[in-house]
Amino acid sequence: MIFEEIKKVIADKFGNEVIIGEENQGLQPALIISPDKIIDICLELRDNPDTWFDFLSCLSGIDYGVEEQKFGVVYHLSSIIKKHTIVLKVQQQNNRDEQNLPVFKSVSSVWKTADWHEREAFDLLGIYFEGHPDLRRILLPDDWEGYPLRKDYKNAETYHNIKIDF
C-alpha cells in the first residue's frame, strides 16, 4: 500500500480535515494529523485489514525551537505482514513554560511499545501524554530539573552538590 492509498483510508473514515498537511520531501513522506484524532486514526490504521499497522517502530518528541514556539510527536508505523510504512506527525503551539507542558494524547493503548517511547519524550522534552498509564521520568532522576533536549535548556552546574562537568 502506498502513501496516497493510506491517506485515502484516513480521509474516507475521518474526513479530509483531520489531515492538516503532508510532507513529501525526504525519504519517508509524512501526514500531519489533527492531534485530537491521533488515537482514532492509529486504531483505524492498526485494525483496518488493508493497512494493518501492527508495529509502532518509533515515537519521537520534537522541539521545533524557541522561535516557532511549537512541539510535536512523530510516529513511525510499520506493517510487518503487509510490508509498508507510514509516518504520522502531530504538532501544537506552546509558550515553552515548564508549568504549561505541551499535551498530546497517549497511543499506549494502541501499541504497548508507546509506553516507554512516550516516557522518554516526557523525560527529555517535557511533552505530557494524556491518558498514559504511568507517565514519569525514565532516564533521568525523579528530581531532575528541566528537560535536556529542549532547545532552550540550560545545563545545570551541579546535581546534589556534585559538579557536572561537560
pLDDT, residue 115, reads 98
Please enumerate in sequence order all residues whose Cβ is within 8 A of that of 165, keeping only pairs 6 or more positions apart, or say none: none
For residue 74, report the phi and psi dihedrals to the nearest 5 degrees: -115, 130
In this predicted model, what pLDDT tens digit does every residue of 142-161 receive, in sequence order?
999 999 999 999 988 889 99
The pLDDT of residue 166: 64
The C-alpha atoms of residue 1 and residue 80 are separated, in whole angstroms, by 12
* Residue 114 zone, left/alpha/beta (φ > 0; ψ -120 to 50; rest): alpha
Structural domains in the chain, CATH included, are 3-151 (3.30.460.80)
pTM for the model: 0.94
Q: What is the pLDDT of residues 41-87, one digit of tens each?
A: 999 999 999 999 999 999 999 999 999 999 999 999 999 999 999 99
Position of cell 511549537?
A: 70
Structure-block grid coordinates of residue 61:
518528541
Exposure letters 113-123 (e unless 16+ CB within 10 A, then b): ebbebbbbbbb
* Average predicted confidence (pLDDT) for the chain: 95
